[in-house]
Amino acid sequence: MVRILARDVLRGQPTTATSNVDEAHAKIAELFCSHELAPRTRASLMDMKLRSLHRGDVGIEFLDYGADVRIEPEGLQDFHLVQIPLAGHASMQVGARTVESSPRMATVPPIDRPFSMSWDGGSPHLIVYVRRSALERVAGQLYGDSAVDLGYGMDLSGAAGRAFLRSVVELHDDMISQPQSAAPAFVQGLLADSMVSRLLMAMEPPGEDARDADSESRLVRECRELLEKHAFEELTVPDIAECLGVSVRTLQTALRAETGATPSELLRSIRLDRAREMLLEANPREQSVTAVAELCGFTHQGRFSALYVKAFGELPSESLRR
């Protein structure tokens, strides 16, 4: 899966920061639309950080409220958003349907019906903005019909979701590497249209089948969230199944059908992702590969290195030296 670190999103762009709820509300309303914004608990202290960069019909935002918040927009109307947690957890409620969001599952708010969102503290988001007219134009080119009926969630762990993420990274890097006036208009258009095409191909319409699939995949998402939260602890498959309230067989069947992995393989993948993030952020003079491996639950250094190379195409020591 494509890994995007919060610190890298729009690096070098001006950051708007505030601890005042009213100021945060006003800034987000100006950027997106009218909405209600409130901390979910009295203990939640706002620490919002916002970076934004738009070019033509598309834009990229980095938004971290720094607190548990509830957001109730009045309606998007003329633009679409793809909201990607870079860590942590968020959720979106559309009517009776709830989409649980994580770094592997983005939310795609509807533009024509009310919805509400809950973001946990520690869940910085990368948000992709696409003007409605641009999405309809690209949909017409792809499908011969500009009428689009998007779903509410995007699986970022599948092939289509990964392709979308790669197109977002490519567009992001081009946007921050040169000002709009210096970038060739033709290249700008190609990158933007490619990203919108990938967005459309990664989405499923919110029909009955999609709702059924969402109900079935809730177990898998809850399993991922459990493993991410307790990745460094000693976990057995029966322990995981018991925490989720299902049998071991049900858990294994659901994971195998939707991810092609066993619970143990999924836990190992999450631990490898954590190890890579720690290695990339660590100072090689202060941290070692062995220490990071042990922190992430890998006790055999040789086995860890082999798994790491297979997953990321480089040695752990190479990541540490970056």
CATH number at residue 144: 2.60.120.10
Residues 182 and 262 in one domain: no
Alpha-carbon gap, residue 54 to 60, rounded angstroms: 6
Whether 99 is covered by a domain: the verdict is yes
Give the strands of the sheet with 79-85, arranged side by side: 16-18, 48-55, 58-64, 125-131, 79-85, 105-107, 153-155
Residues 94 and 81 in one domain: yes
Q: Where are the alpha helices (DSSP H) in 144-184?
A: 159-177
Residues 56 and 124 in one domain: yes
Whether 299 is covered by a domain: the verdict is yes
Instruction: Give the DSSP H/E element, type plus range, for residue 43.
Output: none
Please say which residue of 206, 239, 261 terminates a domain. Answer: 206
Is residue 14's pLDDT more than 80? yes
CATH value at residue 263: 1.10.10.60
pLDDT at residue 171, as a whole number? 93
- For the chain, the domain total comes to 2
Q: Which residues contact 66 (CB under 8 A, 6 or more apart)?
A: 45, 46, 47, 48, 49, 121
Q: What's the rounded mean pLDDT across residues 264-271? A: 90
List the structure tokens of 244: 């989720």
Phi, psi of 145 (to 5 degrees): -150, 120
Alpha-carbon gap, residue 47 to 18, rounded angstroms: 6
Residue 148 zone, left/alpha/beta (φ > 0; ψ -120 to 50; rest): beta
Residues 53 and 109 in one domain: yes
Alpha-carbon gap, residue 71 to 58, rounded angstroms: 23
Is residue 303's pLDDT more than 50? yes
pLDDT at residue 129, as a whole number? 97
Residues 64 and 170 in one domain: yes
Residues 298 and 199 in one domain: no
Residue 64 forms beta bridges with which residues?
A: 49
Residues 172 and 224 in one domain: no
Q: Which one, of 320, 227, 305, lies nearest residue 269 by Cα?
A: 227
Residues 258 and 224 in one domain: yes
The pLDDT > 90 percentage for the chain reads 45
Instruction: Give the DSSP H/E element, type plus range, for residue 16.
Output: strand 16-18
Three-class secondary structure of residue 146 per DSSP: coil
The residue range of the domain holding 20 is 6-206
The single residue listed with the structure tokens 């029909």 is 207
Please say which residue of 206, 241, 270 terminates a domain. Answer: 206
pLDDT at residue 256, as a whole number? 80
Q: What's the rounded mean pLDDT across residues 126-131? A: 97
Alpha-carbon gap, residue 154 to 171, rounded angstroms: 19
Residues 49 and 105 in one domain: yes
- Concatenating the DSSP letter of every residue in 222-286 gives HHHHHHHHTTTS---HHHHHHHHTS-HHHHHHHHHHHHS--HHHHHHHHHHHHHHHHHHHS-TTT
Three-class secondary structure of residue 268 per DSSP: helix
Convert the pLDDT of each residue in 155-214 to its tens digit. 998 888 999 999 999 999 999 887 655 556 777 788 999 999 999 999 855 444 444 444
Chain centre to alpha carbon of residue 267: 19
Alpha-carbon gap, residue 2 to 20, rounded angstroms: 34
CB 173 within 8 A of CB 56: no
> Which range has the top average pLDDT, 103-117, 138-152, 248-262?
103-117
Residues 165 and 24 in one domain: yes
List the structure tokens of 204: 């499923």
Residue type, 69: V
Report the interhelical angle of 248-259 vs 208-229 (nearest 10°). Answer: 110
Instruction: Work out the pLDDT band at 11, boundaries 50, 70, 90.
Output: very high
For the chain, what is the mean pLDDT? 86
CA angle 271, 275, 280 (to 5 degrees): 150
pLDDT at residue 205, as a whole number? 52
Please say which residue of 206, 226, 257 terminates a domain. Answer: 206
Convert the pLDDT of each residue in 53-68 to its tens digit. 999 999 999 999 999 9
pLDDT at residue 213, as a whole number? 43
CB 275 within 8 A of CB 319: no
Residue type, 284: P
Residues 166 and 219 in one domain: no
Whether 1 is covered by a domain: the verdict is no
Chain centre to alpha carbon of residue 242: 27
Residues 107 and 188 in one domain: yes
Is residue 89's pLDDT more than 70? yes
